[in-house]
Amino acid sequence: MLLKVIAVICIWGNCASGFPVYFSSSSDLGLTCRSDLTLPIAGTEKAAQRVLLQKGIGFSGDFNPSATEAARGAGAPDQKKLQDPHSSLSLVEATWPAWPLLPEHHCIPEVITSFRDCSLAFFWALLAVLAVIWGLVRVSLAVGSGPRLPSGRQRVPALDGLRTVIVTYVILFHIHKVIVPQQLADVVSTGHWGMQFFFVLMGFVNFRVNAKQDRISLGVACSSLAQRFGRLCPGYHIALLWMYASAKDGHALTVWPLQALFLQSLLPVNLCCGTDAKMAAGYCSVWLKGNYVGWFTADALVCAVCFPMLYNARPRRGWHATAIVLLAVLTLRSSTGLMHSTVKSFIDLHLAGLDLYVWAPVRVLEYFAGMLFAQLGDELPEDLKSWQGWRCISDLCLVLAFVVVAASDPANPPRYGDFFLAPVFGLHALSCSLTEGNLASGSSQRGYLDTLLSSHLLVEAAQYSFGAYILQGPVQTSVRHMLQLPEWDPTKTLPASFWVMHLVSCWIAGVALTKFVESPVARMISSQLKTRA
């Protein structure tokens, strides 16, 4: 399909001094002005496209020269037609007077333009994931994982209970704009903070499970990673296929195979697939479109890949060194604003719209912080481990987290969703684990909030929390269809029956996914790993 292109040549200096514009006389395309850019216009359309893509200019939407000129209130530009003898494309050169810059959206070009091509790419992406899992199993068997020492750690029920509470909160947050009564909607209107807890918790738990290993070998790493893929992939791809089957538009089709390969956590950018308004609303976002909650799974898998390297490179000079490294990691994680400006300066212009909230390297820092908190708990002196005040620290951490969230403005959350709660959640996990250790020796008791979180119902529901989380998008679509509700409109509230049924259905779907899909797949992979060549 012939792609209409526009090339903007900005003269050296300021855009306000005027700049020449090349546009197709038969197309309407958006403009951007960059004073630091000089584009040589090639003679053919394909060459002009190549120049645009090399310079990182995303073009989309409609640009009507006469309508734009009238809107700007400027005089008619001087025009000169340029007819390329090798192309039917007629270009017009016009020097426009200064006007306010149009919204600038950096994006990557849309590659897939039909459902047929998208389905085929989706299929090959799924085969690639299966091939990776099979390869990990074979490498683990060929190399040999060796004896894996049991962790010997007791379970921390308060952390499991908190998982259930935060997943429920996040599910309600994603539909809070249509929830009634308004008081409940206000309570769950700030939901980005909860994801920091999960990455810290994953690092904390994974370190405790492997704490008796001096180093993680290649065989153990491949075995653990294969099991992790088997745990996360079934629910993730079922949800993605469910959402793809219900997709109605043909925009941003490249998103689906990218998400099938978990690439939205490494490339959380925009596709050039719509107007400025749609792109600003995330309509063309690689991670917001499709199964919008799947970015967590993609980031979790990146963390799992990084775990053996982080574990083997951890500090080994006592708790003082661990505390220093932990402080450095938390400081780096909290510097997302500085990180954004640095990344923007050195990454290709296609990624200038990088969303750090879902970008994997940022989440790996939280994951590593959780690992270091667990290591610190092992290395603390015995008199500190047996301190009776850990239960109070645990409760205070939860209260502090809730106060920070309650004091945040839902309309203007912290940049990139950073509530600076990674150290709070890490300290909470550390204090909970030390409290459980003292509880086993009969010398302590849990804090008040930890006692509530350790209730049987919350602890048992935690094993189904991932299924409830990952399936919330497909469940929401199905519930709306069952209740015959109108298309999603965040400006209109829905009956209370919607959010109640949605929440209950998410947890029922999570139970079904865990029992009938994830558990059988996990058993199959485990049985394969136990067969020695």
pLDDT over 50 (residue 336): yes
pLDDT over 80 (residue 56): no
Closest C-alpha to 59, from 48, 71, 67, 68? 48
Per-residue DSSP letters for 85-118? TT-SPEEEEEEEPP-PPPPP---EE----SHHHH
pLDDT over 50 (residue 31): no
Mean pLDDT of the chain: 77
Once rounded to an integer, what is the mean pLDDT over residues 83-108? 42
What was the pLDDT predicted at 51?
Answer: 40
Three-state DSSP at 235 gives: helix
Once rounded to an integer, what is the mean pLDDT over residues 254-262? 94
- Lowest-pLDDT choice from 34-38, 47-51, 341-345, 387-391: 34-38
- Lowest-pLDDT choice from 59-68, 180-189, 398-407, 494-503: 59-68
What was the pLDDT predicted at 485?
Answer: 77
Q: Which helix (H) or strand (E) holds 426?
A: helix 422-440
More confident residue, 154 or 172: 172
What was the pLDDT predicted at 117?
Answer: 93
Cα–Cα dist 180/495, whole Å: 7
- Cβ pair 139, 223 in contact under 8 A: no
Name the band, by pLDDT with cuts 50, 70 and 90, for residue 405: confident
Write down the pTM of the prediction. Answer: 0.79
Name the band, by pLDDT with cuts 50, 70 and 90, for residue 227: very high
Name the band, by pLDDT with cuts 50, 70 and 90, for residue 200: very high
pLDDT over 60 (residue 128): yes
